[in-house]
Amino acid sequence: MIKKERHVLVIFPHPDDEAFGVSGTISSYRDMGVPVTYACLTLGEMGRNLGNPPFANRETLPQIRKEELKNACKAMGLDDLRMMGFRDKTIEFEDDEKMVKVVADLIEETNPSLVISFYPGLAVHPDHDATARAVVRAIRRMPEMERPALYTLAFANNTVEVLGEPDVIHDVTAKADKKVATLNAHASQTVWMMKEMEKKLEELDPDALKWLNYERFYTYRWDQDFE
C-alpha cells in the first residue's frame, strides 16, 4: 500500500540513481495523480561506461545521458524534471551551505509532503552521501511541524547493522514494466546489467524478482543524527 502524498520531491546526484530503487515508486505516485519533481544534480558526465566499442566520449556523454534521463522520466510518467547543472563527482566538494540552499529552495518551491533521497553515510558513493547530507540538513532546519517526511535509500554493506530493516516497503509489482523501461532508458549505463537482469527475471530468480517488485526505504528519524 503506497500512501497518497501531496507532492513528492526526489533528489539524487546522477541520472539513473532514480531507476534502480525508486522508479516503481515514482510511477506509482504518478498513476495516483501525485505530482513528482525529480531534481537531478549532475548529468553523470564522469560515468565510466563509454561503451565497447565506445559510443560516447567525455564531450558527448553528458548530452547522451541528458536524453536518457528525459526518456527515463517519460517511462515513469514524470513531467517535472529539474537538471540542476552541477558537475559529476564534484558534489562532495561543493560548499555545504550552497547545497543546503539548493535543497531548501526546491522544498520551498514545491512544498512536498515527502522527499526521497539517499541515507547519509550509507549510500556508498561520495556524491550520494553529499547529496543526502544536504537534504537532511535542509529539512532539519525547518520547524518540526512543517518538515516533509524523508524516505531514504541505503545500501552500504553495514546498512542493516546500523539501521535495521527498512520500515517502508512499496509493492511496485504492477509497475514492473515501467521500472524495466526506466532502467533501459539509461542504456549507456545499464545495458549490460539489464542483459543479466532480464535473464535472471526470465529464470524467476527470487532475488531479481524481489528487487524488481519491491522498493525499500528507511524513514529518516530526526532523533538520530548522522554526524
Given the rule CB under 5 A, which residues bind Zn ion?
Answer: 14, 17
- Shortest reach from residue 47's CB to Zn ion, in Å: 9
90: CB partners within 8 A, 6+ apart: 42, 127
149-153 and 114-118 beta bridge pairing: parallel
**Minimum CB distance to Zn ion smaller for 17 or for 215:** 17
Which pairing describes strands 168-171 and 80-86: parallel, antiparallel, or unpaired? unpaired
Taking the complex as a whole, the smallest distance from the CB of residue 147 to Zn ion amounts, in Å, to 25
Report in angstroms how near the CB of residue 65 gets to Zn ion at its nearest. 12
**Residue 17 or residue 45: which is nearer to Zn ion going by CB?**
17
Place of cell 512499496: 170
- Measured at the alpha carbon of residue 67, what is the angle toward residues 10 and 202, in degrees to the nearest 5? 75
Map grid coordinates 558527448 to a residue: 60
| CB nearer Zn ion, residue 34 or residue 129 | 129
**Which is nearer to Zn ion, 21 or 24 (by Cβ)?**
21
**Please, are residues 47 and 87 in contact by the beta-carbon 8 Å criterion?**
no
- The least distance separating Zn ion from the CB of residue 13, rounded to whole angstroms, comes to 6
- Do you find a cis peptide bond into 206, omega within 30 degrees of 0? no
Closest residue by beta carbon to Zn ion: 14
